[in-house]
Amino acid sequence: MPTTDHVVDKRAFQEWVHAHTGDLLRYAKSRVREEDVAEDLVQLAFIAAWEGRKKFAQQSSPRTWLFSILKNKIADHWRKAYRDPVVHGLEPVDAAFFTGDDRWAPGHIPVEWGLDGPDQEEQMQRFLADCLQQLPTHWRAAVEMKYLKEKNAEAICQELGITATNYWQQVHRAKVQLRECISSKMTKNHH
């Protein structure tokens, strides 16, 4: 195929691979469970970018364009995981965190974290990463879909085949669980 000035040629594309793989992989690794899946998604994103290179037409930076393709690949991944009937087991509910009359149960009452210092953010990110790995798959899928941003809630519900209420409730339960998990790691860390 003859290349023209406005079409990305193979040489330029290889430079993109060298320049952006690190950032794309870091992003993907923080958003899926397994490292090899993250690598596959980055590779799929580059292949899709190469195949769709005519559409790039310099309208945005390569980085922005590659990230938007990667986000779509991550969304595809979680949509598939969400629909996989195998992963839908018994889901934990937030009932454990509340008393019969819906107050916070003893031992689960949120207490301010008292965050200070910039080094704490890194630690919090580590705690979060650990706690995300412990979420049931379809809760994790709901959370990941929410934070991929590009898509609005309505579109996500359609893709996952759930109602808006079901969707935000799953994100909510996931976050209650995450908060509890992070809190317990912080408490352990202080002792």
Partner 1 sequence: MHTLLLSCRKAAALIERRSFAPLPAGLSVQLWMHTRICAGCKAFQHQSEVIDTLLEQRGNGVDAVSTAPLEQRIITAINDKN
Say if CB 21 and CB 63 are below 8 A apart: no
Q: Which residue has the tokens 């002792």?
A: 191
CA-CA distance, 165 to 35, in Å (whole number)? 32
Hey, how many other C-beta atoms are within 10 angstroms of the C-beta on 20?
Answer: 21
Binding mask 64-83 vs partner 1 (x if CB under 8 A, - otherwise)?
--------------------
HEC letters along 107-173: CCCCCCCCCCCCHHHHHHHHHHHHHHHCCCHHHHHHHHHHHCCCCCHHHHHHHHCCCHHHHHHHHHH
Quote the least distance from Cβ 62 to partner 1, whole Å: 14
Q: Which is nearer to partner 1, 30 or 158 (CB)?
A: 30
Binding mask 116-145 vs partner 1 (x if CB under 8 A, - otherwise)?
-----xx-xx--xx-------------x--
Say if CB 69 and CB 45 are below 8 A apart: yes
Quote the least distance from Cβ 17 to partner 1, whole Å: 5
Rule CB under 8 A: choose which of 9, 12, 30, 34 binds partner 1: 30
Rule CB under 8 A: choose which of 90, 111, 188, 191 binds partner 1: 111
CA-CA distance, 10 to 14, in Å (whole number)? 6
Q: Does 6 bind partner 1 (CB under 8 A)?
A: no
Residue 139's alpha-carbon distances to 5, 17, 26, 191, in angstroms, are 46, 32, 22, 31
Contact window for partner 1 (CB under 8 A) among 35-43, 55-63, 84-92, 133-141: 35-43
Binding region for partner 1 (CB under 8 A): 1, 10, 13-14, 17-18, 21-22, 25-31, 39, 42-43, 46-47, 50-51, 94, 98, 101-104, 109-113, 115, 121-122, 124-125, 128-129, 143, 147, 153, 164, 167-169, 171-172, 175-176, 178-179, 182-183
